[in-house]
Structure 1
Amino acid sequence: MNQVRSITAADFSSDCPVPFERVVRLTRAEPDALFDLLDGIPEATRARLAVWLYGRSHTHEIGVRIAATCDGTTLHQAAGLVGDRLHELSRRPRTASSYGVHAGGTRRQVSLGGSHVAAHAFV
């Protein structure tokens, strides 16, 4: 029989190179405040953090931003070919995220109320 167990912060922070609380602050920070939060973190640790964040879909973008504070050699030492790719990505001009945007270039409208037809189907 499989047992279900709760996921805790410790599950995510076991291989994270900085304390989990700092990761939370970094992911919630405005882009302008990110560099202040990185102050005092050695470059090798920032490189490992960038790789760690890049490897998670919800923190992918911040991983690229942190990688931009590291040189290519340090990123390569942290993650080999992945570090090389991350260095390359971090040097490209940033583009706006396409999440939630459809082909027309406008944001998708989200409705939690359901369709008008479905609302009257039960009357």
Structure 2
Amino acid sequence: MVQTKPGSQTIDETDCPVPLATLGALYRGDAETIDTIVAGIPDRTRARLAAYLYGKSHTHEIGLRVAATCAETDLVQVAGVAGAVLYAQSRSRPPRPAERISPTGRRISLAGSTRSRHA
């Protein structure tokens, strides 16, 4: 296991179907970068990656984006019924761009501070 930083959740390298460097590039990438990276990943591995990413709350949207590039048969073979659901969800709505999250995991808004001064 690789510790991401002291006190944080660990990433089990054996669960991730791609190298951690690729996973990091997907996590940091915009929609175009994600599409470029995914295009070079073999079909079956891409399906496993989609299921892996979808199963994690912070990479859920990236998982849907990757699943949108997969064949239903590949997703079902690697994830069973969950793969069929993932296939359907990835095609039922347009994928949103990969969202950037602050390092603390919370969105930062300054709008609330202005409102509190004028209230």
Fold shared, TM-score > 0.5 on shorter chain: yes
Corresponding residue for 1:41? Answer: 41
1:8/1:28 CA distance change after superposition, 3 Å = closer
Superposition RMSD in Å: 3.1
Quote the sequence identity (%): 43
1:58/1:68 CA distance change after superposition, 3 Å = same
AA partner of residue 46 (structure 1): R
Q: What pairs with 1:52-71 in structure 2 (closer than 5 Å)?
A: 52-71=52-71
Residue 22 of structure 1, CA deviation: 0.3
Corresponding residue for 1:82? Answer: 82
Residue 34 of structure 1, CA deviation: 1.5
C-alpha separation in 2, matches of 1:28 and 1:81: 29
- Report which structure shows greater RCO (CA 8 Å, sep ≥6): 2
SS of 1:17 mapped into structure 2: coil
Corresponding residue for 1:18? Answer: 18
Structure 1 residues 20-48: Cα deviation after superposition (integer angstroms, max 9, x where no partner): 11011011111022221113211100000
Corresponding residue for 2:28? Answer: 28
Residue 110 of structure 1, CA deviation: 4.5
Does the CA-based 8 Å contact 2:61-2:95 persist in structure 1?
Answer: no
State which of 4, 8, 11 in structure 1 corresponds to 2:4: 8
C-alpha separation in 1, matches of 2:24 and 2:58: 12
Unaligned runs of 5+ in 2: 100-108
Highest Rg: 1 or 2?
A: 1
AA partner of residue 7 (structure 1): Q
AA partner of residue 3 (structure 2): I
